[in-house]
Amino acid sequence: MCSSDLSTDAAHAFPAAWRPSVEAPWQRCGQGTAAVSCFSFYANKTITTGEGGMAVMDDPDLAARMKLMSLHGMSRDAWDRYSGEGSWDYRIVAPGYKYNMTDVAAALGIVQLARAEEMRRRRDEIAQRYLRGLAGVNAIELPPDPKDRLHSWHLFPVRLRLERLRIDRNAFVEEMRKEGIGFSVHWRPLHLHPYYTETFGWQPESCPIATALWQRLVSLPIFASQTDAEASRVIEVLTDLCRRNAV
């Protein structure tokens, strides 16, 4: 999650939370975080509308402005003109955009919102299973799970301790693929993408820490419908891979 005084990019964070102490109430991501917090509801996020997202804020004037600008800059009456009490007429009052969510996507999202905590809890169960099952594998660095956080567990990234393995990350994930384990790698640093290399001349040594971390990253499968048996299979495969390739 990236934030500033004005906006928070919380694309993967819903419905995460934090608290300053065990006695304090939980504060949800987007609750007093910034002037605007933005969430993504793409198909692989913690909840989905298929495409699109949500911006939350505690400022009625800002909310009205964003609503206005999201649909061509139409006056607010335009949103209600198809209702029984709405007017057929509308006005363009600002040079707006076409950023409105479709009704079908919104209908899907309403149901997903109702299940958001249920699905987060299930992802947390899978995460805890990984944390326990891989705790003794010394070639893997597990993600932190502090007690003052409710993690969204959108991803479960691990860092390979390459100095303890005879293979690199790419060979490691190829072995996972052969065993039928789904995985991904998050994320290739910007300075390693062709556009930035070709446009600005950036090289791996331009950001040495990001480059080194990128070479160690693997994201394990984690999703709300994942079974205990599937998670156990991931643990079994990773444990065996690290054992067979240990230095």
| Position 123 in a domain | yes
pLDDT value of residue 78:
58
Here the tokens at position 66 are 């964003």
Structurally, the chain folds into a number of domains equal to 1
Confidence at residue 32, expressed as pLDDT on a 0 to 100 scale:
83
Examine residue 19 and state whether it is found in any structural domain, yes or no. no
pLDDT band at 239 (very low <50, low <70, confident <90, very high): very high
In a domain, residue 141? The reply is yes
Instruction: List the one residue out of 47, 42, 59 whose CA is nearest residue 15.
Output: 47
The pLDDT of residue 204: 97
Give a yes or no: residue 29 inside a domain: no
- Mean pLDDT, the chain, integer: 92
Q: Is 178 a catalytic residue?
A: no
Q: Which domain holds residue 176?
A: 117-247
Rounded CA gap, 178 and 244, in Å?
A: 15
Which sign, positive or negative, has the C-alpha torsion 119, 124, 125, 130? positive
User: Can you tell me which residue has the tokens 């994320």?
Assistant: 187
For residue 2, tell me if it sits in a domain. no
Residue 8 pLDDT exceeds 90 = no
* Burial class of residue 15 in the structure, from the number of CB atoms within 10 Å of its CB (0-12 exposed, 13-18 middle, 19+ buried): middle
Contacts of 216 (CB under 8 A, 6+ apart): 141, 159, 160, 161, 162, 169
pLDDT over threshold 60, residue 3: no
Check pLDDT > 90 for residue 17: yes
Residue 225 pLDDT class (50, 70, 90 cuts): very high
Whether residue 45 lies inside any domain: the answer is no
- Look at residue 201 and tell me whether its pLDDT is greater than 60: yes
pLDDT digit string (tens) for 66-117?
988 998 898 765 556 666 666 677 788 999 999 988 889 999 999 999 999 9
Are 160 and 212 in contact, with CB atoms under 8 Å apart?
A: no
Q: pLDDT digit string (tens) for 134-187?
A: 999 999 999 999 999 999 999 999 999 999 999 999 999 999 999 999 999 999
Catalytic residue among 45, 67, 98, 147: 45
Distance between CA atoms of 179 and 98, rounded to whole angstroms?
Answer: 44
pLDDT value, residue 91: 83
Look at residue 79 in the predicted model and tell me its pLDDT: 58
Q: What is the CATH number of the domain that holds 140?
A: 3.90.1150.10
Q: Is 214 a domain residue?
A: yes
Q: What is the mean pLDDT of residues 28-49?
A: 92
Quote the distance between the C-alpha of residue 75 and its chain's center.
Answer: 33
**How deeply is 38 buried, as exposed, middle or buried, from its count of CB atoms within 10 A (0-12, 13-18, 19+)?**
middle
Q: Is the model's pTM score more than 0.85?
A: yes
Residue 105 lies in a domain: no
**Confidence (pLDDT) at 148:** 92
